[in-house]
Amino acid sequence: MNRLLAGYQRFRAHGWPAQRKALEALAKHGQSPKAMVVACVDSRVDPTMIFDAAPGELLTVRNVANLVPPYAPDAAYHGTSAALEFGVITLGVPHLMVLGHGLCGGVRALLEGAPEDAHEFVAPWMSLAQTARAIALHRETPEERQQCCEHEVVKVSLENLMTFPWIASRVASGKLQLHGAWFAIHSGVLTVLQTDGTFAPPE
């Protein structure tokens, strides 16, 4: 807690004066971010840091392994779907990215089984990506399986995004573009999903 409060004091001393005008304008006029990112909760994969984004620029939703569940307007508490509805319909973001990453613990749980103490929610959540697991298991080494599964999870999320009728219609009309990307923590390099299904550095 002391560390959090010390960080807040630094923000008030340095960050707030620098951001004051921008934040006051955002408070007055509201936000209109041009992109939304679905990222992992992993503390090393902060979309705001990776894309060097200022307040108001990036709407983010983070969950275990950047997974998007299929469209299911039922009585369950769909946190990620609620964030998508807000970003896509209410704010009308023109770009929506699923950002996967290396060394993902959620993906490791999917491949090797969830840790003993994470069976209540993590295991059923990660079962959303069983198809990614099935593809990755064909790879030879544990490292290859892990990275392949991280890539495939991004594709599963993109496919599930298209099950939301208000996302599919906006994609069809050109109002919304979907993107996939993967961030390598150890090198800080971002690769982007190509039309052929591979991930490559942005041009």
x/- mask, Zn ion, residues 138-167, rule CB under 5 A, reads ------------------------------
Minimum CB distance to Zn ion smaller for 40 or for 158: 40
In the complex, minimum distance from the CB of residue 151 to Zn ion, in angstroms, rounded to a whole number = 13
- From the list 104, 136, 156, 193, which residue makes contact with Zn ion (rule: CB under 5 A)? 104
What beta strand segments (E) does 64-136 contain? 95-101
Minimum CB distance to Zn ion smaller for 64 or for 161: 64
Is residue 40 near Zn ion by the rule CB under 5 A? yes
Q: Measured between alpha carbons, how far is 97 from 154 in angstroms, rounded to an integer? A: 9
Minimum CB distance to Zn ion smaller for 40 or for 68: 40
Is residue 42 near Zn ion by the rule CB under 5 A? yes
Q: What angle do CA 87, 92, 96 make, to 5 degrees?
A: 60
**Residues paired with residue 98 on neighbouring β-strands, in sequence order:** 38, 180
In the complex, minimum distance from the CB of residue 116 to Zn ion, in angstroms, rounded to a whole number = 19
In the complex, minimum distance from the CB of residue 176 to Zn ion, in angstroms, rounded to a whole number = 25
Is residue 61 near Zn ion by the rule CB under 5 A? no
In the complex, minimum distance from the CB of residue 178 to Zn ion, in angstroms, rounded to a whole number = 20
Q: Measured between alpha carbons, how far is 149 from 144 in angstroms, rounded to an integer? A: 8
Q: Using an 8 Å Cβ cutoff, are 160 and 68 in contact?
A: yes
* Backbone CA torsion sign across 77, 81, 84, 90: negative
Pick from 70, 167, 157, 149: which is nearest to 104 by CA?
Answer: 149
Pick from 35, 83, 84: which is nearest to 58 by CA?
Answer: 35
Minimum CB distance to Zn ion smaller for 56 or for 180: 180
Minimum CB distance to Zn ion smaller for 160 or for 176: 160
Which positions lie near Zn ion, rule CB under 5 A? 40, 42, 104, 106
